[in-house]
Amino acid sequence: MDDLLNEFLTETNESIDVVDVELVTLEQDPTNKPILDNIFRLVHTIKGTCGFLGLPRLESVAHAGENVLGKYRDGELVVTSDSVTLILSALDRIKEILAGLEETQEEPQGDDTEIINLLNEVAYGDAVAAVSPVEDAPVEEAIEMPEITQSENVLPGQVSLEELEAAFAAAPGPDDDEEEDVTAEDDKEDILTRIGGVDAIKVIIHLFHNRILGDVSVKTLLDGANTRESKEKMGDFFTAYLAGKPEKAPSVSATFEPFISNGITDKQNDTIRKLLGDVLEEVDLSSLDAEAVLAEYDDVAINIFSETAKKTNTKNKKSDKKAAAANANANAKAGDSSLANQSIRVNVQVLEDLMTMVSELVLTRNQLMQLLRNSNDSAFSIPLQHLSQCTTELQEGVMKTRMQPVGNAWAKLPRIIRDLQLELGKKIDLQMLGADTELDRQVLEMIKDPLTHMVRNSADHGVEMPADRLAAGKKETGVIRLNAFHEGGHIIIEITDDGAGIPVEKLKAKALKNGLATEEELDEMTDNQIQMFVFHAGFSTAEKVTAVSGRGVGMDVVRTNIEKIGGTVDLKSVEGKGTSFSIKIPLTLAIVSALIVKCRDDRFAIPQISVLELVRASKDSEHSIEHINDTPVLRLRDRLLPLIRLDEILGMTAVDKETTEESEKKKDDYIVITQVGSFTFGIVVDKVFDTEEIVVKPVAPILRNLQTFAGNTILGDGKVIMILDPNGIANQISDSVTDTGGFGAEEEKQTRAADEREAILLFRAGENNRRAVPLSLVARLEEIEVETIEISDGKPVVQYRGQLMPLVSLDNTYQLKTEGRQPILVFADGDKSMGIVVDEIIDILEDDINIELSSAIDGQVGTAVINGHATEMIDVAFYIEKAFGTLGSSSTSGHTGEEAKPHILLIDDSKFFLNMIKPLLSAAGYKITAVDSGASALALREQGNDYDIIISDIEMPDMDGFSFAEEVREGGIWQKTPMIALSSHHTPKDFARGREVGFDDYVVKLERDTLMTTIVDQISKKQNAA
Amino acid sequence: MENENRDFVTIRLAGQLCGIPVLEVHDVLSEQSITAVPLAPPAVAGVLNLRGRIVTAINLRKRLGLAEQEADGENMSIVVEYQGEPYSLLIDSVGDVMSFPEDSFERNPVTLESCWQDVSGGIFRLKGELMVILDVEKLLNFDIGQATAA
């Protein structure tokens, strides 16, 4: 019975979930017949099974719900949101009861009359309203009962069983009074009249049916039958028979069709007869009359049996092989079992255990493989290879059993959104894409609640009231879109709404109030940074606390939960346009491939998924670690890569300096290039071993707050090692740089770093001024032997990578060093390089660049305060020009200067960037107009200024590049002007978006060569077109 | 209190005799190879592999604020479980399992040092010496330890 109950619970819960979703769909599309049929079928099954298992509470609630659904199906009721709400609440009640059932194995106590009455009211509408006085004043009405039962317009068969029984028990009147006369007359024709006429028959048949359905041994006889139809037929049948006009009655086979097709047995027939007798007795029929009716039934029963036998025979003939299936029960179930055979239910715990065992097996396999590696030529080698293969396949197989479509986590959302719509008076369209994307069950469980919460938030905070939406020029119905897809070993789930966005000003005020940031700090933050505050505890911008959200717990928990499973959550929001959350989670948690590295005496594992490449660095190889004031960096393919030393991060530097220095001299360093989000950095380790499949095991609670580690594992040799968490490490180092509170891993931060906080190289050259140049412009840092500097054409040059590289000093008075090594900054322009000689490189840091004093001096952009000191920003373009005579003598050549210089409109909110790129473009022979916002650019359009090409930044406050482009393309004199987008984003998606809104091309910021060629391309295209 | 004997695994820690209720002891280990966990609290000696389970090793001396042990100790450890997680307690040496009558039990003297007070479940008077009962729950509840340290 336990198993049966369990199965029932799982199945019913599943059905209820489906019904939940389908009902919401039905509400939107009331005429969808297949959906309605499906709902009806599911509820009916639930009801049926409840009866079978003897769960009266569940059965009665389900039955009442089914009644309403039946009315929908028969087209007697229109699907309204009120009635759907009622059915949904009935489902909720069923869920409650199921939960209780699961806990105690018994139906919990409770009273469902209210909800049942409500449902009946909907189902029978006026009919019940007319009868309802019965409930209110049973005594009075009982006397009038005969009238009610006899009146044709009330169908007693449709009044609930309880009411009827009560009414009959309380109304002995008609039968008692008339009994004597009737018996006296003793006329067969009058049995019908004596027992109360057609309506009494109907009542009897109704009760009879309910009894049958309530009796486990015979209820299957009504399987597949339409109860209402069957009642009508039996009613007509008995009426005709009892009235002595059997010729008017429908045929036995038609009336008792369900009995026959379900193969009634002798025993069942006895039970049926007994039930009928009970009913007759209950309605106070005299024993004589009851005998008469039963006698009629016995006659009929003989016919039923002969019909049943016929039917069974034909069936047997049709399918001899399936003789066994002739059994009634088997027959009834044959339909669904063939489908069900293809899948079985397995307890989750079994799967979990299986997974654990497979994990252990993988570990043991690893151990064996390790042993094998150490012993050459072992006889075990081939079987072990095979074992390894099998283990891998087994592992994959077991993993597959754990995969579930992400849609499972979404199943409850339509219902939630529907309820919210009613509660909040909003109109929301929930779109779910990629619901069949699969991910690990464990992960799925973990994100279920965060997801629900976020969708709720979107509905509550995001989507505005319909009136507000209309006022804002949007469609009345808000859209919340869920989208799940795979991306490189991760699953991305996006939750997008087109609502009001996250109000930056409100957040600012709140952040100030809560003391999370000072006003100055807030001023410096981008909107996005401020919006990220929603992930802090105690933040909710809903003005009033609703039942839905706004209690200030939530988003921080969401983030914690997601990060717990190694995921990240990111947020983009434009005020007035909407908000988009994107959750990135690993596919599975259990087994990962990891790189084993050594640092000092310990080994550590780094999840392979975040490792981009490995670089060996030694003094004499191509790659070597260089230091800028103790900050290690690595040149990798003409880029400087920030490095962190693992021993430092792990606090191991305390070991006495001598040994470290010594080892530093002789050893090669291995650098694990790691990527977290779009942030790439190198981890310096002492040695790199193999990659291994490891089973991530959580660390003890006491160690759980160490964000450096993602867990620990047992290696093939039995040693425990710690698994490094690149996310945590990135957070740790970026915290110290940007101090923005731990979303370092996200791409957003990188954009910000590129946008707002530039990595700046600080150096000293000549005099004592601090000077700076954006690190992104520097190709390499070099130190050259002074002796190698030669003088050519009166200018210092050096042979560098097979070319002559001119050396430029920042001011004419500057003297090259006379001995030792000369540090230079190498800038590359196309295939040409130029070196700027400097005295000393001070530091690399990230800071905002605010040019406070613009400079009139050539070669200087202006003065900015960096790190608390006035610092001159040098104009690299000027020096490149100085070194090569004219800029762009190489392939980057811009415009070769025909009659008129092409006129470029440049839009970028970063003054720094404008200052950087303006000289470049003008040096390449263009005329430049630069403005710092889309709005000012549009103002120029209004004034009638025309340009040959427009170059616009994408990330700008107020009006971003996309909206600007849309605006431009909408009309006006710039409609056909070529437009180039500049952005630090460079995913194909961004490109596509750019194209879509009207940009002709898309160039990544600071890729100067591409920009130049793109400009030339676009201008020539325009000229050709003209 | 019942008049029954209570069984303890006796251990020595910096000369002091201590006892851990025998039913809480899952394992007694000889010296194991322990992987240090960088950045972990000082009392955590590292992690070790006990038949496929990862066990967190706690240095009891550090936990109790005692001096480091000289290099030639036995380095035994006792495996206990706390909140479903296995921990191995590093101690100097393990003695016998002993049974003590309930009537030789005493509460902690109020003057006991706070670091001992925090982890002790009482004292047993033995012939010639005293045995401190180590309360595993308290021992591994690091919140208390940190609070005292702070």
Q: Are residues A855 and A962 in the same domain?
A: no
Task: Pick the closest to residue A333 from A52, A30, A707 (CA basis).
Answer: A52
Ramachandran sector of residue A452 (left: φ over 0; alpha: ψ -120 to 50; beta: rest): alpha
Contact call for A702 and B52, based on CB within 8 A: no
Q: Which residues contact A24 (CB under 8 A, 6 or more apart)?
A: A84, A414, A415, A417, A418
> Is B137 part of a structural domain of the chain?
yes
pLDDT for residue A690 is more than 80: yes
User: CA–CA separation, A242 vs A251, rounded Å?
Assistant: 15
Q: Identify whether A744 is part of a domain.
A: no
- CB of B149 within 8 Å of a chain A CB? The answer is no
Residue A788 has pLDDT above 60, yes or no: yes
pLDDT one-digit tens code per residue, A114-161:
888 888 887 776 444 433 333 343 444 444 444 444 444 444 444 445
Q: At A53, is the pLDDT very low, low, confident or very high (cuts 50, 70, 90)?
A: confident
CB A173 within 8 A of CB A186: no
Among A921, A892, A876, A637, smallest CA distance to A760 is for A876
pLDDT in tens, A19-52: 888 888 888 887 788 888 888 888 888 877 777 7
Q: Is residue A847 part of a domain?
A: yes
**Host domain of residue B130:** 5-141
Residues A964, A987: one domain? yes
Domain boundary among A721, A738, A772: A721
Which of A866, A716, A874, A868 shows the shortest CA–CA distance to A363? Answer: A716
- Hey, are the CB atoms on A714 and B54 less than 8 Å from each other? yes
Q: Which of B44, B83, B140 sits opposite A703 (nearest CB)?
A: B44
CB-closest option in A700, A706, A718 to B85:
A700
Rounded Cα gap, residues A684 and A690, in angstroms: 16
Distance separating alpha carbons of residues A188 and A191, to the nearest angstrom = 6
**pLDDT at residue B109 is higher than 60:** yes
Range A712-721 burial, b when 16+ CB lie within 10 A, else e: bbbbbeebbb
Considering the domain architecture, whether residues A320 and A379 belong to the same structural domain is answered as: no
Distance CA A752, CA A183 (A): 98
Kindly state whether A683 is in contact with chain B, defined as any CB-CB distance less than 8 angstroms.
no
List residues bridging with A402 in a β-sheet: none
> Between residues A246 and A595, which one has the greater pLDDT?
A595
- Judge whether B87 is closer than 8 Å to chain A, CB to CB: yes
Alpha carbon B142 to its chain's center? 13
| pLDDT tens track for A180-224 | 444 444 444 456 666 666 777 777 777 777 777 777 777 777 766
Confidence of residue A79 (pLDDT cuts 50, 70, 90): confident
Q: For residue A151, tell me if it sits in a domain.
A: no
| B83 closest CB neighbour out of A701, A713, A722 | A701
Amino acid at A522: L
pLDDT, average across residues A862-884:
74
Indicate if the pLDDT at residue A752 is higher than 50.
no
- Distance from C-alpha of A79 to C-alpha of A35, rounded to nearest angstrom: 12
Among A706, A713, A714, the residue with its CB nearest the CB of B40 is A706
Does one domain contain both A187 and A324? yes
Q: What are the tokens at A570?
A: 């990111």
The CA distance from A725 to A723, in Å, is: 6
The helix (run of H) or strand (run of E) holding residue A258 is helix A257-261
Residues A502 and A373 in one domain: no
Domain count of chain A? 7
| Structural domain of A598 | 591-721
The residue written with tokens 């309530």 in the block is A214
The DSSP string of A298-311 is HHHHHHHHHHHHHH
pLDDT score of A896:
43
Name the strands in the sheet holding A803-808, side by side, starting at the edge strand that comes first in the sequence.
A780-785, A821-829, A832-837, A803-808, A795-800, A789-792
Mean pLDDT of chain A, nearest integer:
73
Q: Is A701 on the interface with B (CB under 8 A)?
A: yes
What is the C-alpha to C-alpha distance for residues B102 and B106, in angstroms, rounded to an integer? 9
| pLDDT of A637 strictly over 80 | no
CA-based nearest residue in chain B for residue A715: B49
Q: Provide the H-helix boundaries in A187-226.
A: 191-194, 197-214, 216-219
Contact yes or no for B56 and A699 at CB 8 A: yes
Residues A544 and A656 in one domain: no
Q: B146 in a domain, yes or no?
A: no
Q: Which residues pair with A932 in a beta bridge?
A: none
Are β-strands A478-487 and A428-433 bridged in parallel, bridged antiparallel, or unpaired? parallel
**What pLDDT, on the 0 to 100 scale, is given for residue A231?**
75
CATH of the domain at B55: 2.40.50.180
3-state secondary structure of A450: helix
Is the domain of A194 the same as that of A301? yes
Domain closes at, from A279, A314, A336: A336
Query: Does A652 sit within 8 Å of B38, measured CB to CB?
Result: yes
Looking at residue A72, its pLDDT comes to 81
* Mutate which: A702, A712, A715, A722, vs B, most B CBs within 10 A: A702
* B60, part of any domain: yes
Q: ipTM of this model? A: 0.84
Total length of chain B? 150
DSSP-assigned letter for residue B73: S
Decide if B147 is inside a domain. Answer: no
pLDDT at B79: 92
Provide the pLDDT for residue B150. 35
Give A840's DSSP letter: E
Q: What is the residue-wise DSSP string for B111-129? A: TS-HHHHHHEEEEEE-SSS
Residues A545 and A415 grouped into a single domain: yes
Rounded to the nearest 5°, which phi and psi values hold at A672? Answer: -95, 110
Dmax (CA) for chain B in angstroms is 48
Asked whether residue B29 is domain-assigned, the answer is yes
pLDDT band at A272 (very low <50, low <70, confident <90, very high): confident
pLDDT the model gives residue A853: 64
pLDDT band at B3 (very low <50, low <70, confident <90, very high): low
Burial B139-148 (b: 16+ CB within 10 A, else e): bbbbeebeee
How many domains does chain B contain in total?
A: 1
Single-letter amino acid, residue A973: I
Find the residue in A nearest to B85 (Cα).
Answer: A700
State whether residue A361 sits within 8 Å of chain B by CB. no
In this predicted structure, the answer to whether residue B23 has a pLDDT above a threshold of 50 is: yes
pLDDT tens digits, A283-338: 766 666 777 777 777 777 777 777 666 665 554 444 444 444 444 444 444 444 44
Q: How far apart are CA A864 and CA A847, in angstroms?
A: 10
List phi, psi (to 5°) of A679. Answer: -90, 120
What lies within 8 Å, CB to CB, of B84 at 6+ separation is none
What is the SS3 assignment for A431?
strand
E strand map for A14-147: none
In a domain, A305, yes or no: yes
Residues A117, A186, single domain; the answer is no
Task: Identify the closest residue of chain B to A646 by CA–CA distance.
Answer: B38
A360 at B interface, C-beta within 8 A: yes
Largest CA distance in chain A: 143
The top-scoring range by mean pLDDT among A518-522, A682-686, A861-865, A922-926 is A682-686
Q: Who's near A829: CB < 8 A, 6+ residues apart?
A: A880, A884, A887, A888, A890, A892, A1008
pLDDT number for residue A457? 81
Q: Does B77 touch chain A (CB under 8 A)?
A: no
Lowest mean pLDDT among A370-374, A735-739, A919-923: A735-739
Of A721, A748, A773, which one is at a domain's C-terminal end?
A721
Residue A977: per-residue pLDDT: 83
Q: Is B19 within a domain? A: yes
Would you say residue A736 lies in a domain?
no
Instruction: Give dist(CA A8, CA A2) in Å, integer.
Output: 10
Do A869 and A918 fall within a single domain? no
Same domain, A613 and A571: no
- Location of structure tokens 């199945």: A11
A442 and A559 in one domain?
A: yes
Is B149 within the bounds of a domain?
A: no
> The CATH number of the domain where A781 resides is what?
2.40.50.180
pLDDT at A340 over 50: no
Q: Tell whether the model's pLDDT for residue A339 goes beyond 60.
A: no
**C-alpha span between B37 and B57 (Å, rounded):** 10
The alpha-carbon gap from A596 to the nearest alpha carbon of chain B, in Å, equals 14
Is residue A324 in some structural domain? yes
Q: Does A602 sit within 8 Å of B40, measured CB to CB?
A: no
Asked whether the beta carbons of A481 and A495 are under 8 A apart, the reply is yes
Residue A716: closest C-alpha in chain B: B52
CATH code of the domain containing A317? 1.10.490.10
The answer to the question of residue B150 being in a domain is no
A797 touches A805 (CB < 8 A): yes
Using CA atoms, how far apart are residues A663 and A531, in angstroms rounded to an integer? 47
Percent of chain A whose pLDDT exceeds 70: 72
